[in-house]
Amino acid sequence: MRIFRRNKSTEVISGDIANREVEGLSQGQIVRRRFLRHRGAIISLIVLGTTMLFVFSALDLTLGFIKYPGWWKYSIIDQPDIRTDGCPPGLGGCPTLSINPFGAFGLGDHPFGQDDIGRDYFALVMRGAQRSILVMFIIGIVGGAIGTTVGAISGFYRGWVDSVLMRFTDFIITIPSIIIGSVIGYHFGNLGVPFLALYLGLFAWTGLSRLVRGEFLSLREREFVDAAKVAGASNRRIIFKHILPNAVGVIIVSVTLIMSGAILLETALSYLGFGVVAPDVSLGLLISQYQDSFTTRPWLFWYPGIFIILIALSVNFIGDGLRDAFDPRQRRRISRKEKAAERKVAADRQV
């Protein structure tokens, strides 16, 4: 009985501390404060931002008629370096490719080595990371927009509209994503990365739509929605002005999960030959092209794999931080000093 009372008193005191902390703050300030306390999410956000800055600034970037020069000296189309100075003539001459990525005495001219035809592998990995990140964001945006729209309409109107949309969603869910992606990649992969990502995003919304539907079914019964209806607000205004802002937490967290799954899906499709096609490059395509070199030159797998894992884990940790920040049931961690104060107050109450 004593242990039960102590735990109950501690929970009450922790709740009082949490309430005092957020008193007078807006919802946005509360969410921001909770997110900044999630160390894993903050570190992942820094890692993802640094990785994107590093990747997109390495090679020349063209936006419309504007070209931004990169800081790396090679591109993915540069011809191989032919080194013949000091080499004997004939078939026994010097090798023409930097097969070892680190040279004989430390870091070489090609830090990631060269591929089979002499292209700089660092430039190829940077280009592949650019395309994979682009696919991730396009699929996240398209899938998030479609899933939010379908879930909002289904949860708000209910009835036959809900039945039709959810049965269509269930039908899409029953088809494995790798099969849908393979069909799309086979027919539209040669149109370029943006079009491939756009078509993949058209089928990446099913999980989000079900979550948004559940949120709308719950929120539409709240008092503020009834007050908006009495005030004469239209259905469109109720959806976008009153219900959708209260469901934004679920949407943002789900979109991060879609994005982390998107880069893994693109990797799998490119590895199977149904994703990004040559002469373009992606991280999955690099792994697929050099799978025969796994035993002789394993670093051709290391670098694309490291970037894939780094990006996917960073997005997942950011999603975890956003989930904890938007969930009102989450409470912040209590410091040691506050824990000691809790124990002291609980002991005084027992006396």
Q: What is the pLDDT at residue 326?
A: 81
- Provide the Cα torsion 250, 253, 259, 261; round to 10°: -90
What confidence score (pLDDT) does residue 104 get? 43
Say which residues have a Cβ less than 8 Å from residue 161's Cβ, sequence separation at least 6: 153, 154
Q: Is the pLDDT of residue 105 over 60?
A: no
Q: Which pLDDT belongs to residue 190? A: 77
Per the CB < 8 A criterion, the answer to whether 121 and 182 are in contact is: no
Q: Could you read off the pLDDT of 21-49 as tens digits, one per residue?
A: 556 677 778 888 888 888 899 999 999 99
Residue 6, pLDDT score: 44
HEC assignment per residue over 272-337: HCCCCCCCCCCHHHHHHHCHHHCCCCCHHHHHHHHHHHHHHHHHHHHHHHHHHHHCCCCCCCCCHH
Reported as half-sphere exposure (CB side, CA atoms, 13 A), residue 106 has a value of 0
| Predicted local distance difference test score (pLDDT) of residue 93 | 46
CA quadruple 334, 337, 338, 344: dihedral sign: positive
For helices 248-272 and 121-157, angle between their N-to-C axes, nearest 10 degrees: 140
| Cα dihedral across residues 217, 221, 224, 225: positive or negative | positive
pLDDT at 20 over 90: no
Summarised one tens digit per residue, pLDDT across range 198-221 is 988 888 899 999 999 999 998 888
Distance CA 285, CA 5 (A): 60
Phi first, then psi: give them for residue 278, nearest 5 degrees: -65, 150
Spatial neighbors of 170 by CB under 8 A, at least 6 apart, are none
* CB 96 within 8 Å of CB 82: yes
As beta bridge partners, residue 68 has: 61
pLDDT-derived band at 19 (thresholds 50, 70, 90) equals low
- Measure the CA–CA gap between 194 and 191, rounded to whole angstroms: 8
Tokens coding 320: 């975890």
Whether the predicted pLDDT of 325 surpasses 50: yes
Note the pLDDT of residue 24. 62
Domain limits, the chain: 1-37+332-351, 57-76+105-327
- Report the distance separating Cα 136 and Cα 263, nearest Å: 5
Start-to-end Cα distance in the chain: 14
Residue 342 has pLDDT above 70, yes or no: no
| pTM for the predicted model, two decimal places | 0.80
Q: 57-76+105-327: which CATH topology?
A: MetI-like fold (1.10.3720)
Q: What percent of the chain has pLDDT over 70?
A: 77
How many CB atoms lie under 10 A from the CB of residue 302?
A: 13
pLDDT at 85: 52
Separation CA 31–CA 327 (nearest Å): 9
Predicted confidence at residue 267, as pLDDT, reads 87
pLDDT at site 102: 54
